[in-house]
Amino acid sequence: MPDIISEVARRRTFAIVSHPDAGKTTLTEKLLYFSGTIQAAGTVKGKKGGKFATSDWMDIEKQRGISVASSVMQFDYRDHVVNLLDTPGHQDFSEDTYRVLTAVDSALMVIDAAKGVEAQTIKLLNVCRMRHTPIITFMNKYDREVRDSLELLDEVESVLEIRCAPITWPVGMGKTFRGVYHILKDEVIIFTPGKGPLDEVEIIKGIDNPRLDELFPLEIDQTRMELELVRGASHPFVLDEFLDGTLTPVFFGSAINNFGIREILNALVDWAPQPSDSAAIQRAVSPTEEKFSAFVFKIQANMDPKHRDRIAFLRVCSGEFTRGMKFKHLRLNRDIAANSVVTFMAQGREQVEEAYAGDIIGLPNHGNIQIGDSFSEGELLSFTGIPYFAPEMFRIVRIKNPLKIKQLQKGLQQLGEEGAVQVFKPLNGGDLILGAVGVLQFEVVASRLLNEYGVEAMFESTTIYTARWVSCDDAKKIADFEKNLTNNLARDAANSLAYLATSRVNLDLTMERWPELRFHATREHA
């Protein structure tokens, strides 16, 4: 029997967080290439155009002819098992994107160095900060004219509230990009585009090595000057601070040119944490416990209307999953036959026989599984920390055929429980309101209402700007609030009270006027 402790110790589960076009797809492909998972890496071409955009990884699958599941990839590197989870962006951005971050132990942040910190990165980093997720940073596209490197670090520190510890430092940029200086190893790794994982890389020891002056007289002096400044302005790498999520090691490179990839893989293996304890209401669950346990962080509906199947993505929290074993869906108190369980491998489609903490397994189902559901071999566990996020987009739902109101309500109830969209019922009895963080969520709901519930729904825009869940220990205060602001209040699928604000100013004013109440931007799954 494999030793659970050593299996857990060699697991690394992470997600790439970035703004669209920063290079996530390219980097994913290069990570697979440098880990030896795929044989050749080419240029990742144009983005998807279809209405229901598939994951970026589907694109890789098509282009490379390799078999990758849509959103989870497992590969081996230096005798470690690495699980890479996709955080869909573009029109795919949804609450699931956020929730993926509740299933990882670390994150790799990719920044387009010509652009700096962008909107989607800020949103995703907010979730990482909430969870103290360790972050590794990759400054991408140094083969182009990019922004000043010190300025980029400064922006990361001030906007994302995380200290930067540069591990490498660029020598030049754009047409004069010469390589990176590895601060910890005191060596310059020379840039040559397109080197593969097996090619030799030229390395020059020592930043004061005269060979560097011969090769790049202009750039190396500049780099030495910058390094003086860096020493004063940035922070040394301290592993514990990285693991706390307060400090990020920063690497520079160019994903498309295969430059800087190996350093990232090594940082993941050497520094990123193995799976740690998972919090359940009952107790903390250690990854090395013998008994299997897991929770659902994402549900992916099959877009094919002929198939109603959905896949629930489970993160294994403890124990050993083996093919054919039985485990329990705790909310429904029902046994699951595990022979239907699928695993996600980047190489080949072979059925995986076992999974350990940190691994992701997929459970096909017909809609009876919800986000946040827990599974075990029998012990009652309710894993916590899988939040709902305050929506940023709202639509009022109307139906063409009023006789279908029952089906509409049933459909929205189920879609709401599943986490596909948030459903708010106004206290004043008005039309149902849908809330989402990405527009695709509304399209998915419209299509599923039609295909699965036979309801043709129309969505209209609203003046709502954002929502906050409201709580207070004093029931009387809440009752007062409900009475005074009935027209701005609603209950969600879990019956939690939410304030629907029409603007930032409106929200601030309301919070000021009701100081005894707490306004929450996230809500934990019940």
Query: Judged by CB under 6 A, how many residues of this single chain contact ligand GDP?
Result: 19
Does 141 appear as a known binding residue? yes
Is 170 a binding residue for ligand GDP by CB under 6 A? The answer is no
Kind of pairing, strands 247-252 and 163-166? parallel
Number of CB atoms found within 10 A of residue 62's CB: 12
* Residue 86 marked ligand-binding: yes
179 - beta bridge partners? 171, 190
Answer yes or no: is 520 a known binding residue: no
Q: Which of 15, 22, 390, 436 binds ligand GDP (CB under 6 A)?
A: 22
Q: Are 70 and 58 in contact (CB under 8 A)?
A: yes
Which residues sit opposite 190 in a β-bridge?
Answer: 179
Compare residues 114 and 521 and give the one whose CB is closer to ligand GDP.
114
Nearest 5 degrees, angle CA 479-CA 480-CA 483? 85
User: Binding site annotation covers 210?
Assistant: no
By CB under 6 A, tell whether 255 contacts ligand GDP. yes
DSSP string for residues in 339-378: GG-EE--SS--PPP-EE-TT-EEEEEESS---TT-EEESS
Asked if 21 interacts with ligand GDP (CB under 6 A), we say yes
Stretch binding ligand GDP (CB under 6 A), from 19-27, 324-332, 473-481, 513-521: 19-27
Residue 108 found at the interface with ligand GDP (CB under 6 A): no
- 373: its two tokens: 């559901």
24 binds ligand GDP (CB under 6 A): yes
24 labelled ligand-binding: yes
Interatomic CA distance for residues 92 and 90, integer angstroms:
5
The nearest distance, CB 88 to ligand GDP, in angstroms, is 10
Under rule CB under 6 A, residue 104 binds ligand GDP = no
The verdict on 23 binding ligand GDP (CB under 6 A) reads: yes
CB of 256 to ligand GDP, least distance (A): 4
> In 10 A of CB 315, how many CB atoms?
29
Is residue 87 a contact residue for ligand GDP (CB under 6 A)? no
Contacts of 429 (CB under 8 A, 6+ apart): none
Nearer to ligand GDP, 17 or 272 (CB): 17
CA dist 362 and 140 (Å) reads 32
Structure tokens at 265: 């893989």
Residue 407 sits at the vertex; the CA angle it makes with 406 and 411, to the nearest 5 degrees, is: 120
Q: What is the dihedral of CA 62, 65, 67, 69, to 10 degrees?
A: -10
Judged by CB under 6 A, the residue of 4, 31, 38, 44 near ligand GDP is 44
- Select 139 or 397, whichever has its Cβ closest to ligand GDP: 139
172 contributes a contact to ligand GDP by CB under 6 A: no
Q: Of residues 8, 66, 256, 467, which one binds ligand GDP by CB under 6 A? A: 256
- Asked whether the beta carbons of 44 and 60 are under 8 A apart, the reply is yes
- Give whichever of 253 and 411 is closer to ligand GDP, judged by the CB atom: 253
**Residue 18 assigned to a binding site:** yes
The response to whether 406 counts as a known ligand-binding position is no
Q: Judged by CB, which is closer to ligand GDP: 68, or 212? A: 68
* Stretch of residues binding ligand GDP (CB under 6 A), selected from 22-30, 164-172, 430-438, 460-468: 22-30
Instruction: Choose the binding region for ligand GDP from 6-14, 190-198, 254-262, 424-432 (rule: CB under 6 A).
Output: 254-262
- Taking the complex as a whole, the smallest distance from the CB of residue 303 to ligand GDP amounts, in Å, to 20
Total length of the chain: 526
CA 56, CA 89: separation in Å to the nearest integer? 9
Stretches 158-166, 201-209, 255-263, 358-366: which one binds ligand GDP (CB under 6 A)?
255-263
Token pair belonging to 218: 């202009």
Q: How far, in Å, CA of 357 to CA of 294, rounded?
A: 8
Distances (CA, A) of 288 to 4, 13, 225, 362: 6, 16, 48, 21
The answer to whether 429 and 499 are in contact (CB under 8 A) is no
Interface with ligand GDP in residues 125-154 (CB under 6 A): 140-141, 143-144
Interface residue list for ligand GDP (CB under 6 A) = 18, 20-26, 43-44, 56, 140-141, 143-144, 254-257
Binding-site residues for GTP sit at 18-25, 86-90, 140-143
Binding-site residues sit at 18-25, 86-90, 140-143
